[in-house]
């Protein structure tokens, strides 16, 4: 039935950016890629902000549109059920909150029916709600209890946007590794921009993944630094 990857994380984790990059990478080998933007309540940066880029890569974007695109009331795209049952490579951008847990709980039966899936917890330790293990544990427990599926791994995404440098990434990643031990989850990927990737010590290359900042705000365009 194809692959399924779900990306969830707290505010500022960068999960939408990560989901977009994974979708674009998948589109290089698959003709049936679907990115479902299910971050449904007031997202600051959302996958649907990169609509034109995704379309240019032949990726089908599933997201609320028009007045419902950024509404206060969750509005699950009607096509999601049918697409979950079809043969495609699907990626889901999920809110890391109560609404996200309800959404994935609603879809949990279909997720399990697809069989092989990945459920990633995206962590940026430099964001307010991801600086301590207990707050991350609470988010994990909420999404797993209400969502009815278990996380399969962590994506380490340490950055401070334009202030990012190699030292900051390595320090933040080490913090994520410590969190991972407390959460009993493996760190599957370390996501970094190309400029940082090229400077990473060799021992990080087995989990490092280059990403592009498609959701970078316009006021940062042209500024120096990394992610």
Residues in contact with 150: Cβ distance below 8 Å, sequence separation at least 6, in sequence order = 119, 144
Q: How far apart are CA 177 and CA 184, in angstroms?
A: 10
pLDDT at 44: 52
Residues in contact with 61: Cβ distance below 8 Å, sequence separation at least 6, in sequence order = 34, 35, 37, 47, 48, 51, 54, 55
Residues in contact with 201: Cβ distance below 8 Å, sequence separation at least 6, in sequence order = 170
DSSP type of residue 13: S
Question: Taking all residues of the chain, what is their mean pLDDT, rounded to a whole number?
Answer: 86
In tens, the pLDDT along 176-218 reads: 999 999 999 999 999 999 999 999 999 998 999 999 988 865 4
Outline where DSSP puts E strands in the chain.
4-9, 33-38, 60-62, 89-95, 117-123, 153-156, 187-193, 208-211
In tens, the pLDDT along 132-178 reads: 899 999 999 999 998 899 999 999 999 987 788 999 999 999 999 99
The CA-atom distances, in angstroms, between 116 and each of 5, 33, 221 are: 9, 16, 38
107 token code pair = 């879809």
Q: Cβ distance 120 to 37 under 8 Å?
A: no
**pLDDT band, residue 71 (cuts 50/70/90):** very low
Q: Which domains does the chain have, with CATH numbers?
A: 4-69+76-216 (3.40.50.300)
Average pLDDT over residues 8-18: 90
Question: At residue 221, does pLDDT exceed 80?
Answer: no
**pLDDT band, residue 226 (cuts 50/70/90):** very low
């Amino acid at each position: 039935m194809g692959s399924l990857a779900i990306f969830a994380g707290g505010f500022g984790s960068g999960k939408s950016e990560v989901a977009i990059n994974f979708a674009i990478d998948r589109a290089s080998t698959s003709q049936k890629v679907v990115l479902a933007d299910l971050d449904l309540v007031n997202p600051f940066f959302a996958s649907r902000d990169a609509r034109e880029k995704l379309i240019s890569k032949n990726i089908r974007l599933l997201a609320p549109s028009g007045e419902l695109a950024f509404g206060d009331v969750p509005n699950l795209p009607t096509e999601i059920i049918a697409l979950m049952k079809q043969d495609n490579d699907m990626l889901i951008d999920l809110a890391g909150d109560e609404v996200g847990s309800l959404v994935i709980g609603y879809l949990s039966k279909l997720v399990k029916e697809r069989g092989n899936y990945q459920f990633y917890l995206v962590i940026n330790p430099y964001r307010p709600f991801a600086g301590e293990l207990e707050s991350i544990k609470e988010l994990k427990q909420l999404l797993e209890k209400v969502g009815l599926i278990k996380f399969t791994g962590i994506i380490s995404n340490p950055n401070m946007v334009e202030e990012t440098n190699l030292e900051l990434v390595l320090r933040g990643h080490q913090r994520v590794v410590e969190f991972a031990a407390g959460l009993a989850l493996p760190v599957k990927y370390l996501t970094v921009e190309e400029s940082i990737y090229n400077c990473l010590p060799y021992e990080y290359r087995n989990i490092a993944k280059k990403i592009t900042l498609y959701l970078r705000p316009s006021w940062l365009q042209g500024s120096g630094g990394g992610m």
